[in-house]
Amino acid sequence: MTEPLTANYDPSQYVRTWSAPSELRITDIRISHVTGAPMRCPLIKIITNQGVEGYGEVRDAASPQYAAMLRRHLIGENPCAVDRIFRRIKQFGGPARQGGGVSGIEVALWDLAGKAYGVPCYQLLGGKFRDSIRIYCDTDADGKPDGLAMGTALKKRMERGFTFLKMDLGVNQIASIPGALSAPLGYLDKLAALAQAVQEAPDEAARRVARRRQYDAYNVQHPFTGLHLTEKGLQCLEEYVAQVRSVIGDEVPLAVDHLGHIALEDAIALARRVEKYHLAWLEDAIPWQYTEQYMRLARATTVPICTGEDIYLKEGFRPLLEAGAVAVIHPDILTAGGMLETKKIADLAQEYGVALAMHMAESPIACLAAVHTSAACENFYVLENHSVDVPWWDDLVCGTAKPLVQQGFIRVPEKPGLGIEALNDEVIARHMDPQGPGLWASTEYWENDISHDRLWS
Ligand SMILES: [Mg+2]
């Protein structure tokens, strides 16, 4: 029987009166630039006429201007029309960090829509397949000269509850070993000299020029460097993986990343050498644009092949999926085009029998955007977190579980939007990029920016 209403019953306590979604309008966009998380994280705050704020973020290490420049397309709009706004701004995104502005704004729009309608973001994406999200943390090769040291670092991850591991494996581990690499004579010395020139530049103007020279050198793609692994190099890397497995055992999944700019044939040789260590995947062995090379790689080894953190939009993933060139895709929400686009990418991958892992090296804002999206994708596998060793990372946001990652998993939040009640300005201010524009800097400059942007006539 239904309980009778008491005299004290007040139905208004169950009705949210602070948001009328149909009348919600974007009034302002602000940017704060955090550093050391461990990457640089340009945070976005979209402010509305009803006191509701939406949180987003530009991809790690990107310029906040990728988002700020979109202001003239957003002020006065209803943020709940997420897909309509996304289709207007998507032409201003691109691969890797260039996708960060469009994607970061899209995340903030979903956060607003969720808050306005009082539902968590995963529900807006179709509902969830799981209540908690498996996390892995990237483990780089710094300070780990051999596989035993790397294995010990990975073992510590397992002791903290992580059930999936990733490490670097490639040129960086063997660069100082004589005879491990082959390259046109003088090439490696030139790279070292360019790095030294940045360090020793006499002033900021000279440093900028030196950085551009270094960027040009590191921007040479794998097929064109002439850099190869020798037999000794292959032996060293095989031994490195064998040592890691001797410490962590055979059962826990182990993915590898950061091979270096070696040619396709070298990636195949390395993959074949380490097949017996049953890697979870080999990541970004070659630039993602080379679909035919990915096909050759995938057909030459039993190691699962993975790429995707630099691919923008579903159409960017389609050629690799249609070619059967990858076993795992690894999009970053803040490059792929945001939450709904990543859901579409995941569903497309599922049609081809490809698993979804996710790249994530940003703040809790992007992390929770990835958590909600991962929850809503059936073929989800594992989500990255780069910040488990940054003690203040969780404190950038208020109202979430602390710490976010517990025993290797993140619980999917049930609060409206991303599940973040507020941003912690005190912590953000303490970790601001000194070169950045300041705490919640204005983007007003971009409001009157005028351009005829249609892509056809
Ligand atoms: Mg990677």
Question: Is the confidence at residue 13, as pLDDT, over 80?
Answer: no
If you measure from the C-alpha of residue 139 to the centroid of ligand 1, how many angstroms do you get, rounded to a whole number? 11
Q: How many CB atoms lie within 10 A of CB 203?
A: 7
Work out the pLDDT band at 367, boundaries 50, 70, 90: very high
If you measure from the C-alpha of residue 280 to the centroid of ligand 1, how many angstroms do you get, rounded to a whole number? 14
If you measure from the C-alpha of residue 284 to the centroid of ligand 1, how many angstroms do you get, rounded to a whole number? 7
If you measure from the C-alpha of residue 422 to the centroid of ligand 1, how many angstroms do you get, rounded to a whole number? 30
pLDDT tens digits along 385-395: 999 999 999 99
pLDDT for the residue numbered 158: 97
**Cβ atoms of residues 95 and 335 within 8 Å:** yes
Question: Is the confidence at residue 11, as pLDDT, over 70?
Answer: no
Work out the pLDDT band at 154, boundaries 50, 70, 90: very high
Number of C-alpha atoms within 13 angstroms, CB side, residue 151? 15
pLDDT tens digits along 52-75: 999 999 999 999 999 999 999 999
Contacts of 134 (CB under 8 A, 6+ apart): 163, 164, 381, 382, 383, 408, 409
Question: The tokens of 221 are what?
Answer: 């793609």
* Closest by CA position to 447, among listed 81, 57, 75: 75
**Cβ atoms of residues 235 and 270 within 8 Å:** no
Question: The tokens of 108 are what?
Answer: 């903030």
If you measure from the C-alpha of residue 375 to the centroid of ligand 1, how many angstroms do you get, rounded to a whole number? 22
If you measure from the C-alpha of residue 105 to the centroid of ligand 1, how many angstroms do you get, rounded to a whole number? 23
**Cβ atoms of residues 137 and 411 within 8 Å:** no
Average pLDDT, the chain: 95
What's the CA gap between 418 and 362, in Å, rounded?
15
If you measure from the C-alpha of residue 438 to the centroid of ligand 1, how many angstroms do you get, rounded to a whole number? 30
**Cβ atoms of residues 179 and 425 within 8 Å:** no
If you measure from the C-alpha of residue 339 to the centroid of ligand 1, how many angstroms do you get, rounded to a whole number? 19
pLDDT tens digits along 291-340: 999 999 999 999 999 999 999 999 999 999 999 999 999 999 999 999 99
Question: Is the confidence at residue 18, as pLDDT, over 80?
Answer: no
pLDDT for the residue numbered 141: 86
If you measure from the C-alpha of residue 100 to the centroid of ligand 1, how many angstroms do you get, rounded to a whole number? 16
pLDDT for the residue numbered 16: 58
pLDDT for the residue numbered 9: 61
If you measure from the C-alpha of residue 283 to the centroid of ligand 1, how many angstroms do you get, rounded to a whole number? 6
**pTM to 2 decimal places:** 0.94
Instruction: Determine the average pLDDT of the residues in 193-212.
Output: 95
If you measure from the C-alpha of residue 359 to the centroid of ligand 1, how many angstroms do you get, rounded to a whole number? 7
DSSP string of 203-260, one letter each residue: SHHHHHHHHHHHHHHHTS-HHHH--EE-HHHHHHHHHHHHHHHHHH-SSS-EEEE---
Work out the pLDDT band at 260, boundaries 50, 70, 90: very high
Domain definitions of the chain by residue range: 13-119+437-446, 132-173+228-415, 184-225
Number of C-alpha atoms within 13 angstroms, CB side, residue 315? 4
Work out the pLDDT band at 7, boundaries 50, 70, 90: low
Q: Which residue has the higher pLDDT, 106 or 4?
A: 106
pLDDT for the residue numbered 2: 47
Question: The tokens of 98 are what?
Answer: 């260039």
What's the CA gap between 340 and 103, in Å, rounded?
10
In this chain, the answer to whether the domains covering 13-119+437-446 and 132-173+228-415 adopt an identical fold is no
pLDDT for the residue numbered 435: 86
What's the CA gap between 114 and 413, in Å, rounded?
12
* Closest by CA position to 380, among listed 363, 360, 400: 360
If you measure from the C-alpha of residue 81 to the centroid of ligand 1, how many angstroms do you get, rounded to a whole number? 32
pLDDT for the residue numbered 184: 95
pLDDT tens digits along 394-404: 999 999 999 99
Report helix, strand or coil for 133: strand
pLDDT tens digits along 88-127: 999 999 999 999 899 999 999 999 999 999 999 999 999 9
Q: What residues pack around ion ligand 1 (CB closer than 5 A)? A: 257
pLDDT for the residue numbered 10: 64
Class of domain 13-119+437-446: alpha beta
Question: Is the confidence at residue 347, as pLDDT, over 90?
Answer: yes
If you measure from the C-alpha of residue 1 to the centroid of ligand 1, how many angstroms do you get, rounded to a whole number? 58
Q: What are the start-end ranges of the E strands in 323-445?
A: 328-329, 355-358, 380-384, 397-398, 405-406, 409-411, 422-423, 441-442
Question: Is the confidence at residue 14, as pLDDT, over 90?
Answer: no
**Cβ atoms of residues 325 and 287 within 8 Å:** no
The fold of the 132-173+228-415 domain, in CATH, is TIM Barrel (3.20.20)
pLDDT for the residue numbered 437: 84
- Pairing between β-strand 41-48 and β-strand 53-57 as defined by DSSP bridges: antiparallel
pLDDT for the residue numbered 453: 92
If you measure from the C-alpha of residue 212 to the centroid of ligand 1, how many angstroms do you get, rounded to a whole number? 23
Percent of the chain with pLDDT over 70: 96
